[in-house]
């Protein structure tokens, strides 16, 4: 897919304040610092559409972007940032769940995980929650340029293998590097395919 236009629309704290669900929507989430903003910017060919965060955990809003006048890209707050107070975390946990559970035009949620680290409880629990709520999701392994060539895909395969404990059918996954542009075509093609059906 060619990205002709990517434009910020609105930020808000409530699912029911989001733009009317008239277009297909794709949301991105992951732990703070996973590389979400960088990935969004890479997908949209923009240097600063999504802010790359110098203070992780600060953007706690649902951010809507409109792409090619035909679909929404949504930047969700990063989860699991220790320095955010517990009550605050619970509050935006509810906000995210509310958004995910009610957004009827949400075609797929991309859950980002850092390709260099072992499966983290917080991510696995989040995936379980998505399964329970029947929210369609894919995984994106980020920062693959930082992996040593040898054994890199093994790490990812091991990660996927660990999911077989929870999942009969494994989620689709992508590998990405915002530095190198890896995964851009595959992710955009995936979105395009859903949009055209
Ligand atoms: P966010 O908090 O999930 O939005 O993460 P950011 O996009 O702000 O990225 C966090 C840090 O990881 C920044 O220092 C980025 O430069 C770095 N980073 C993000 N993506 C990549 C990548 O694909 N490769 C490399 N080498 N660094 C990355």
pLDDT, tens only, 105-123 = 999 999 999 999 999 999 9
Task: Say what the pTM is.
Answer: 0.94
For residues 167 and 156, the answer to whether their CB atoms sit within 8 Å is no
Is the CB of 63 within 6 Å of ligand 1? no
Query: Is it the case that residue 56 has pLDDT exceeding 60?
Result: no
| Separation CA 181–CA 131 (nearest Å) | 29
Helix (H) or strand (E) holding 157: helix 152-163
Distance (angstroms) between ligand 1 centre and the Cα of 35 equals: 4
| Predicted pLDDT of residue 165 | 87
Which percentage of the chain shows pLDDT scores above 70?
93
Query: Which tens digit of pLDDT belongs to each residue from 135-175?
Result: 999 999 999 999 887 667 888 999 999 999 888 899 999 99
Helix (H) or strand (E) holding 29: strand 25-30
- Mean pLDDT for all residues in the chain: 90
Secondary structure class of 62 (helix, strand, coil): strand
Distance (angstroms) between ligand 1 centre and the Cα of 196 equals: 31
Give residue 54's pLDDT band: very low, low, confident or very high (50, 70, 90): low
| Predicted pLDDT of residue 83 | 65
Ligand 1 atom at shortest distance from the alpha carbon of 142: 23
Q: Across residues 46-67, what is the average pLDDT?
A: 77
Strands 106-114 and 25-30: parallel
- Choose between 146 and 86: higher pLDDT: 146
Give residue 89's pLDDT band: very low, low, confident or very high (50, 70, 90): confident
For residues 69 and 20, the answer to whether their CB atoms sit within 8 Å is no
Instruction: Name the residue with the closest Cα to ligand 1, atom 9.
Output: 35
Distance (angstroms) between ligand 1 centre and the Cα of 143 equals: 7
Query: Is it the case that residue 125 has pLDDT exceeding 70?
Result: yes
Which percentage of the chain shows pLDDT scores above 90?
71
Give residue 69's pLDDT band: very low, low, confident or very high (50, 70, 90): very high
Strands ordered across the beta sheet of 106-114: 6-12, 62-67, 71-75, 25-30, 106-114, 137-142, 173-175
Helix (H) or strand (E) holding 20: none
Give residue 32's pLDDT band: very low, low, confident or very high (50, 70, 90): confident
Quickly name the fold that domain 6-195 has: Rossmann fold (3.40.50)
Instruction: Name the residue with the closest Cα to ligand 1, atom 18.
Output: 35
| Predicted pLDDT of residue 81 | 67
């Amino acid at each position: 897919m060619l990205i002709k236009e990517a434009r910020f629309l609105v930020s808000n704290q409530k699912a029911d304040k989001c733009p009317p669900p008239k277009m297909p929507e794709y949301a991105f989430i992951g732990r703070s610092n996973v590389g979400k903003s960088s990935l969004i910017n890479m997908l949209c060919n923009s240097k600063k559409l999504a802010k790359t965060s110098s203070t992780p955990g600060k953007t706690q809003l649902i951010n809507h972007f409109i792409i090619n006048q035909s679909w929404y890209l949504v930047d969700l707050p990063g989860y699991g940032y220790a320095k955010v107070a517990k009550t605050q975390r619970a509050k935006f946990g509810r906000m995210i769940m509310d958004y995910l559970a009610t957004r009827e035009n949400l075609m797929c949620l991309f859950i980002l995980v850092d390709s260099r680290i072992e499966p983290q409880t917080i991510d696995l629990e989040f995936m379980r929650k998505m399964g329970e709520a029947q929210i369609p999701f894919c995984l994106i392994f980020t920062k693959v340029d930082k992996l040593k060539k040898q054994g890199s895909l093994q790490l990812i395969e091991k990660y996927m293998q660990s999911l077989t404990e929870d999942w009969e059918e494994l989620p689709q996954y992508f590998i990405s590097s915002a530095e190198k542009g890896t995964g851009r075509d595959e992710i955009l093609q995936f979105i395009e395919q859903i949009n055209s059906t």
